[in-house]
Amino acid sequence: MHSKKLAVLAAAVLDETKARDVRVIDVRKLTTVTDYMVIASGTSDRHVRSMADRVIERSTAAGCKPRGTEGAEAGEWVLVDLQDVVVHVMLARVRDLYKLENLWELQAPAAETAT
């Protein structure tokens, strides 16, 4: 699956599962690690884990099995590595503390907001 389509799929899944402030950031010109970062907030640790699980289910069904996940035990910040897309689902207070989108968007050529 093309990385842009995978990022859009992840953002759509997060939107469907009631994520807050879903952001898709094109980082292709900034790093060779991934093409897109998808960042979203959840309302509780259970919500964060549930959203990450749904992204894993839907991306796997679309033919892109995650390379790995981190943080599901605590549920404050779950990272799903889809190789060309890295999905960060986190509690609002954790997102506010780390401000990942600010870090990447300051240097990214064009950031997008999922609709």
What are 29's two structure tokens? Answer: 């010109």
Q: Taking the complete model, does pTM exceed 0.95, yes or no?
A: no
Among residues 55, 18, 61, the alpha carbon closest in space to that of 69 is found at 55
Mention every residue, 6+ apart, whose C-beta is less than 8 A from residue 31.
none
Over the stretch 64-95, which tens digit does the pLDDT of each residue have?
999 999 999 999 999 999 999 999 999 999 99
Asked if residue 16 lies in contact with residue 3, where contact means CB atoms within 8 angstroms, the answer is no
Over the stretch 10-34, which tens digit does the pLDDT of each residue have?
999 999 999 999 999 999 999 999 9
User: How many domains does the structure of the chain reveal?
Assistant: 1
**CATH code for the domain in which residue 30 is found:** 3.30.460.10
Residue 99's domain comprises 3-113
3-state secondary structure of 96: helix
Helices 45-61 and 3-16: crossing angle in degrees, nearest 10, is: 140
- Continuous segment of H or E residues that includes residue 37: strand 36-42
Structural Rg of the chain based on CA atoms: 13
Q: What is the pLDDT of residue 109?
A: 53
* 4-13, 70-79, 95-104, range with the lowest pLDDT: 95-104
Q: What is the pLDDT of residue 25?
A: 95
- Scanning the structure block, which residue is given the tokens 């780390």? 98
